[in-house]
Structure formats: C-alpha cells, structure tokens
Amino acid sequence: MSLKWPEKPLFTLSPGKRYGLFTIVHKSFPTSFLVKIIAFLSATSPIIFNFLQEHYGIDSIITRGLLTVAIVGGVPTVVLYLITLARAPTIRKSVEMEDTSLQDAPTDA
C-alpha cells in the first residue's frame, strides 16, 4: 500500500482547441503539494499565532485566529497559483506535444 498521493495525469485537449493559461492553471494545479504545505503550516500555526501577538501587538484572539487561518490557507494557495501560472506556457506546450503524438500514433483497426 502506497502512502503517496496519486498523480493527476495531464489533461487532454479537444481536437483543434487551445486552452487559455488560466484554464491550464486550473486543470494542472498541484493540489497534493498544496495539501502538504497546508499540513506543515497547520503544525506550525501556534508559532504563527504567538508571533502575531509578540511582534505586531495583536491582542484579540479572534483577530489572531483569523489572520493565522488566512496565512495558513491563503498564502500557500496564492503562491502555488502564481508559480503554476508562470509554468502554464510550458505545461501547455507539453500537453499539445503529447496530444499531437497521440493523434499521430497509428491505430490498430
């Protein structure tokens, strides 16, 4: 039994269609990596919670809790989205190359 997350295969294009970069980012977003980052940050969330009080002087427990949740959930999501957006042209080329190689392959009919 493997403990690894199953990798998503690259999506396929409809014939004659070229997806936009945002669609490619949405379809190839690394969710397993995001889960690992959020799990790590959740383990360190008490440190973030106390850091907000010590260095920024935020005394309200509710405010610190909301900021901690925003940091743990929002920051990794935005950073991974931007990284995937920067990689989107490369992902699109590899998907198009794989799609053309599948179309060019001889069929056994």
Give how far Cα 3 sits from Cα of 6, 7, 30, 32, Å. 9, 12, 17, 12
pLDDT of residue 78: 95
- What pLDDT is recorded for position 97? 84
Neighbour tally for 88: CB within 10 Å: 20
Q: Residue 10 has what DSSP assignment?
A: P
Mean pLDDT of each 10-residue bin along the chain, 109 residues long: 57 69 87 93 94 94 95 95 93 84 66
pTM (global) more than 0.95: no
